[in-house]
Structure 1
């Protein structure tokens, strides 16, 4: 059950109790009219509940978590955005020992000791989301490493109180990790060395990690050969050298984000062109890349589906035309704050797969060019344009485009 409104109350929960004992998923996210006593009504051995999702709910209490011990099939518990200041998270380990997925993203008051006790009691845990749980330290990582050796997914975005020592203990035990998110954290090169022990890693997110360098990325490149997604958004100390090593070894990469890595030049793009299975490439704000490097990617990465070159200031205006000629699988492109030609953007819009185009502050394109684009893009689902074009484009054209299912998003930006 997934509510579309937050009107469900305790009486509704009781009605569910009498209606179906085969219920397996309960989603009461943002249902502020439900109390923890209401949720407790479903905590019975007679129920087959496997998933409880109560993100951003008003009340979480120890008795409710204790009652979950009656749910013998419970595997997933989401408490995102709830206030844990008065909660003993150790109760999760005592009462939900078969838990496989726990999400505490953006929870207030998560304490290191309680969380450590909680995960120690959940040896079957495969996924845990601790996004913005700023109190997480090495103690939690040590607990995960000692008890949850089958862990596959760990999210710790905006957690800055752990060290490379905690990561070393975690990664030496949880060798099966497939997804790790350390965006905006205190990660350094020694931490990357620890992570390189996880040879089955498929997804690694390292955005806004200003203390990682080429040396640290080389550890990942040489050991995590199964990587499919790598995000280094705004990790500003990464250079062409790191990209070269990554692309030479992690040839299964399908998604790469190096937006605002301002040291990156065309040399990195020549390396990226080796990734023949690349689907998503984000170069936003890479001010040193130009048409030469992009041409190499366009000609060799034939499976490319999404490309972001917003604010690539050195990119020449013929880039869209080259993309249209070479990247027949493109379905999403961001050309905002770049130069283009009428011919180039129209050719891109005609692409058989093209669905989304972002064209805010595209230089050198005329009203006629935008009109032709909207007419030509029969497969387009969404186009983002500056609001001032709304009065310049024929209203009949706008109505026609919207009638065929294309959403025009008008934005006002300086």
Structure 2
């Protein structure tokens, strides 16, 4: 009944808190907190994760958040992201008669956009239950701040210092104070040497499970030898280094037999190291090799022979690996579910055939810049891998409609298909996808210039898409997009840029048929006008971003209409001369300019 409370009078705090813990979506939690003051207070008590971007006063923001969310266990601070403090927390200044600035009385908010040592110390003092801390490109943090934090948060389990300019002193403090550390990311921490990492391995080795190191020119094989000796529980290692040689990686392979994830970009590592991985790391599940010019098929022989649990394989720019090496992995590692081949120019059709015949559990395949793979190879995937759900093809000139038809007939569970610059793929292959792959929700056909309306009509009749990208497919006109609009009511993302023949009719149909549309890219569509975008803005209440540069039919009137009509809009990309002074005043923070002077 209206006016009576049927929930708060009955449910205790503990039960409402338990309900909040099962609400995963942040917007849903925010909505719950608006019900009443009691729910707001309880939701704040239940929230355990905070994400912070660069702000006008990060230290003060930390203090503000600590009072509101006292039970926080995970904090992610990424200074590549930007947020703003509420107005009342922004530092106010006034000008003296002599022209100098003076802070207003009572204002103590600092004007820096970087988290300082004092702010990091405040994190340690305020969030007493903190277990996970991520500091991404926090350039003002030094060893002093990290030591102050480490002394307070001795229960820390995960620490990400990517891009922070800390040295051995700060890492030593972490080693001394945070004995329960399990995950450590030191990517782009250029000030570190072996001294700090060796101490972490010795002090935290019993619990350390994940380690990431990249672009640390002073970290050598000595550190990896310490990891191999003390970190027996290590499960994940990500290493990008020009300094590391076989000695260090062999030590890790011998000492860390529980290793499950290995990602390497080490120019001076050879077959010897990967052969050791194959011999000792029998629990390996993920292997990613980038830019290796000293690995040969002997490495893959060792992996295929012993690593029977391997599920994920990425080979990128490994020029000396051939079909024989890939065949040995396919035969020996029958549990493979994800494979990416990127720029491996000696791997061709025969290697992919072996994958199709042996890896029947394959669910995702990416072939990027694989010029030697032809229709026969991908057709074998269609015949043998019926559980395939995602296929990515980029610049594969030998792949055409024949193999796409094979995929359509054999992989009926396909949900994602991304094809870019595969010029032999045309309407026939995509029509087969529409007829057979009824679960497809994500389709990208960028710059496939043989694909036209017939293909999209088939997709519109057979699939209900959430994401569609047909940028650069110049044969597509209104009929194809209209078919998508009528067949995909849940479409949320659409890129139709560089479709020169697309008109307002198609855009208006999208407004009618796709009310959930959030992101649209119509740049370089020369025949779309204010009429189309204004209709779209009125019909798509959830629109958040719109890219519309180089659209001569869209004027400042169309831009103003989107700004005033779309209450959820967060980003508009447009030429500066199409933004009136009034629109700039109203929505300057969400407008991005590609071209300043035209």
Shared topology, TM-score over 0.5? yes
Correspondence list, 1:336-375, <5 A: 336-338=446-448, 339-375=450-486
Q: Give distance in 2, aligned partners of 1:356 and 1:199.
A: 36
Bigger shift: residues 23-32 or 311-320? 23-32
Compared CA separation, residues 309 and 133, structure 1 to 2 (3 A): farther
2:91 matched residue in structure 1: none
Find 1:386's aligned residue among 488, 494, 497.
497
- The equivalent residue for 1:36 is 117
Distance 1:145 1:351, change over 3 A: farther
Task: Provide Cα deviations, 1:195-236, integer angstroms capped at 9, x if missing partner.
Answer: 554433332322233332223323432433332212112222
Deviations 1:162-184 (A, max 9, x none): 41344455565554343343334
**Range with greater deviation from structure 2 (188-197 or 49-58):** 188-197
Q: Is the 8 A contact 2:388 2:413 kept in 1?
A: yes
Distance verdict in 2 for CA 1:200–1:231, change over 3 Å: same
Partner Cα distance (2:143, 2:62) in 1 = 19
Task: Give the counterpart of 1:99 among 181, 185, 188.
Answer: 181
Q: CA deviation at 1:300?
A: 1.0
Gap change, CA 1:44 and 1:166, over 3 Å in 2: farther
In the superposition, relative to structure 1, how do residues 112 and 331 fare at CA in structure 2: closer, same or farther (>3 Å)? farther
Change in CA separation of 1:220 and 1:96 when aligned onto 2, cut-off 3 Å: farther
Shift of 1:287: 0.7
Q: CA deviation at 1:276?
A: 1.6
Paired residues of 2:431 and 2:454 also in contact (CA < 8 A):
yes
CA distance in 2, matches of 1:137, 1:326: 53
Size of the aligned set, in residue pairs, is: 414
Change over 3 Å in CA distance of 1:93–1:230 after alignment to 2 = farther
Q: 1:9 to 1:296 in 2, by over 3 A?
A: closer
Q: 1:363 to 1:134 in 2, by over 3 A?
A: farther
Quote the offset at 1:86 in angstroms: 6.8
Structure 1: distance between partners of 2:276 and 2:171: 22
Q: Which of 505, 520, 543 is matched with 1:408 structurally?
A: 520
Q: Tell me whether 346-355 or 294-303 shows the greater mean CA deviation.
A: 346-355
Cα distance, 1:292 vs structure 2: 1.8
Change (3 A) 1:218 1:140: farther
Matched, 1:332 2:439: no
* Contact persistence 1:160–1:186 (CA under 8 A): no
- CA change 1:160–1:84 in 2 (3 A) is farther
1:263 aligns with 2:372: yes
Corresponding residue for residue 27 of structure 2? none
Show the counterpart of 1:160.
266
Distance 1:5 1:85, change over 3 A: closer
Query: Cα 1:94–1:4, aligned 2, differ >3 Å: closer, same or farther?
Result: closer
Which has the larger displacement, 275-284 or 206-215? 206-215
Q: TM-score, normalised on structure 2? A: 0.61
CA spacing shift, 1:43–1:85, aligned 2, 3 Å: closer
Distance change >3 Å, CA 320–CA 352, structure 1 → 2: closer
Deviation at 1:285, TM superposition (A): 1.2
The question of 1:323 aligning with 2:372 is answered no
Larger RCO, structures 1/2 (Cα 8 Å, 6+ apart) = 1
Equivalence for 2:228: 145
Does the CA-based 8 Å contact 2:485-2:513 persist in structure 1? yes
Question: Mean Cα displacement is larger for which, 95-104 or 326-335?
Answer: 95-104
Alignment of 1:3-82 (within 5 A): 3=52, 6-14=55-63, 22-30=71-79, 32-43=113-124, 47-67=128-148, 68-82=150-164
Secondary structure at the aligned position of 2:351 is classed as helix
Residues 89-138 of structure 1 show CA distances to partners (whole Å, capped at 9, x for unaligned) of 45544443322222233444454564454345432222233355576655
Structure 2 gaps of 5+ residues are 1-49, 83-112, 242-264, 526-549, 551-598
The alignment yields a C-alpha RMSD, in angstroms, of: 3.3
* Residue 290 of structure 2 corresponds to residue 183 of structure 1: yes
> More helix per residue: 1 or 2?
2
> How far apart are 1:2 and its partner, in Å?
1.6
Cross-structure match for 1:280: 390
More strand by share: 2
Distance 2:473 2:182 in 1: 47
Please report how far the alpha carbon of residue 253 of structure 1 lies from its aligned counterpart in structure 2 after TM superposition.
1.9
CA distance in 2, matches of 1:120, 1:166: 23
